[in-house]
Structures are given as structure tokens and as C-alpha cells.
């Protein structure tokens, strides 16, 4: 199995509604009044962990292709089939060393874009890229309201995202299409917490698919737009162009 080249998928993630991806403290403080979002320690600004996005993409594909990839107990899919498109694309448990080559997809952490940081700085009610939203939880018997305060990244914020997809086998182009299918599904689902209550609707915008072949690395060539999808700017359009 030989490395043939990389594809770069990049663009913006637009928060169509408030986004809450909890930090570690969140899990410990369940029911507390303080639900922080995950922050980059260097900048004290929120970011979208690549693992959150990748995990959501994977789980939605498992549901979409439930006949192939959904497990009986609903646990995350993991198999030993050397031809499994899902495991080859998104990865296997480290102990399952199967001759299918490296995990094809890398999803990087997504950081806020410059314009968004400027907008956050201009608004008094936004601190460290987040606003605080009070939510009432009603006691079902007494109807007493218990307020809880949730931090969230405000709607309209943009993050720069980047994914790298490596090609080793002829079937990998089909697996690349799977990535865009998953991105489209995330847009119709949600990222982070409280999605069923309106949080975490996102859209991928200004999406670009670029390529760099094995020889481009040797000769020092930069990324080039992938011709077949050069006019497409959304996950859905790229998916359609790849077909």
C-alpha cells in the first residue's frame, strides 16, 4: 500500500445558532450553575475540537448506513473488516492493526476567524467569545424554575476548519465522498450539547477541495484546487460533483 497524495478540505464553519461544546469541567459540574464551553488555553477563546466534529460525522454515518455499521447495542462501530469504508476513513481501535493502511481522515481543531474575533471584541455581552444564556428547568411537580447558566458561542460566529484526507488505494476516492456526505448530515443535525433545544446548528461555507500529489510534495508544489469540484462551495455541491 503506497501513499499517492493528500486532499485538503477547508472552509468556514458558521454557527447558525448558539454553540455549546463543553469543556472537561462541564462533565464534573453537571447540574451546577456553570457550564463553560471548551476554550483554547493560549487565547482564552472557544474552538471546535476536531474530535467533536469527527465523532459527530462518524456517528451520523453509522446511523445513515445502519444496515452496515450500526451495532446491536448502539455502541460505536469498530470492526476488523479490512475493506470497511467507515473504519478505513475514520480509524480503528489501536489494537486492531489491520492491513488497510493508515486512517485516511484527519480533522483539525477549528479556531475562530479574525472577523469573528473582532465582532466578539466589539460586543459588551460577549466575553471570551461566549455569551451566557440563562435557562429554566421546571420542577415537574411544583413548577418551580431552577435557572441554569450556559455559556455558548454566539450565533453568526465563524471558525476556520481544515481536514486532510490521504489517498492510498483506488477505493479511497469513494471514501472521500463519504466525508462530504457526513458533513452534509452534520449540517442537518447539530454539534455539541443541547442540539434538540436549538443549539449547535452549523453550516460549512466557502468549502474548498484541494489536492497535492506524492510528486507535488517532492517538487515543492503547493495545494491546487481539485478541478472536478472547483466551482462547488458547499459540502453538498462537492458531494454532487464527486459523484
Which residues here bind Zn ion, judged by CB under 5 A? 79, 84, 86-87
> How far apart are CB 225 and Zn ion at their closest, in Å?
32
Nearer to Zn ion among residue 15 and residue 84 (C-beta)? 84
The smaller minimum CB distance to Zn ion, of residues 79 and 164, is found at 79
Which residue has its beta carbon closest to Zn ion?
84
Cβ 54 to Zn ion shortest distance, Å: 15
For the chain, the farthest-separated pair of C-alpha atoms sits apart, in whole angstroms, at: 72
Query: Which CB sits closer to Zn ion, 86 or 183?
Result: 86
- Taking the least distance from each CB to Zn ion, the nearer of 69 and 159 is 69
Give me the count of residues in the chain.
Answer: 243
If the CB atoms of residues 86 and 163 are measured against Zn ion, the closer one turns out to be 86
- Rounded Cα distance, 202 and 191, in Å: 7
Q: Whole-angstrom Cα distance, residue 35 to residue 211?
A: 40
DSSP line for 205-242? EEEEEEEEEHHHHHHT---EE-GGGTT--SHHHHHHHH
Residue among 86 and 235 whose Cβ is closer to Zn ion: 86
Cell 486492531, residue located: 96
Least Å from the CB of residue 171 to Zn ion: 14
The H-assigned helical ranges of the chain are 24-28, 50-64, 66-69, 85-90, 114-122, 172-187, 214-219, 235-242
- Cα–Cα distance, 159 to 36 (Å, whole number): 18
What's the closest the beta carbon of residue 135 comes to Zn ion, in angstroms? 38
CB of 164 to Zn ion, least distance (A): 21
Amino acid at each position: 500500500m503506497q501513499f499517492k497524495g493528500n486532499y485538503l478540505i477547508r472552509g468556514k464553519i458558521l454557527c447558525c445558532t448558539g454553540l455549546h461544546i463543553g469543556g472537561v469541567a462541564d462533565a464534573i459540574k453537571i447540574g451546577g450553575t456553570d457550564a463553560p464551553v471548551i476554550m483554547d488555553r493560549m487565547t482564552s477563546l472557544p474552538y471546535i475540537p476536531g474530535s467533536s466534529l469527527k465523532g459527530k460525522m462518524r456517528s451520523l454515518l453509522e446511523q445513515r448506513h445502519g444496515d452496515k455499521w450500526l451495532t446491536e447495542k448502539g455502541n460505536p462501530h469498530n470492526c476488523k473488516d479490512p475493506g470497511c469504508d467507515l473504519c478505513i476513513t475514520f480509524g480503528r481501535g489501536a489494537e486492531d492493526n489491520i492491513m488497510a493502511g493508515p486512517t485516511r481522515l484527519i480533522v483539525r481543531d477549528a479556531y475562530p476567524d479574525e472577523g469573528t474575533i473582532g465582532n466578539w471584541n466589539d460586543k459588551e455581552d460577549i466575553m471570551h467569545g461566549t455569551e451566557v444564556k440563562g435557562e429554566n428547568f421546571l420542577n415537574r411537580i411544583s413548577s418551580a424554575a431552577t435557572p441554569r447558566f450556559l455559556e455558548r458561542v454566539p450565533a453568526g460566529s465563524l471558525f476556520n476548519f481544515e481536514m486532510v484526507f490521504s489517498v492510498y488505494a483506488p477505493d479511497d476516492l469513494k471514501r472521500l465522498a463519504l466525508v462530504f456526505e457526513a458533513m452534509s448530515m452534520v449540517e442537518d443535525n447539530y454539534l455539541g450539547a443541547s442540539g434538540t433545544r436549538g443549539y449547535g446548528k452549523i453550516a460549512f461555507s466557502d468549502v474548498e477541495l484541494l489536492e497535492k500529489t506524492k510528486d507535488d510534495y517532492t517538487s515543492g508544489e503547493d495545494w491546487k484546487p481539485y478541478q472536478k469540484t472547483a466551482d462547488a462551495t458547499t459540502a453538498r455541491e462537492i458531494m454532487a460533483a464527486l459523484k
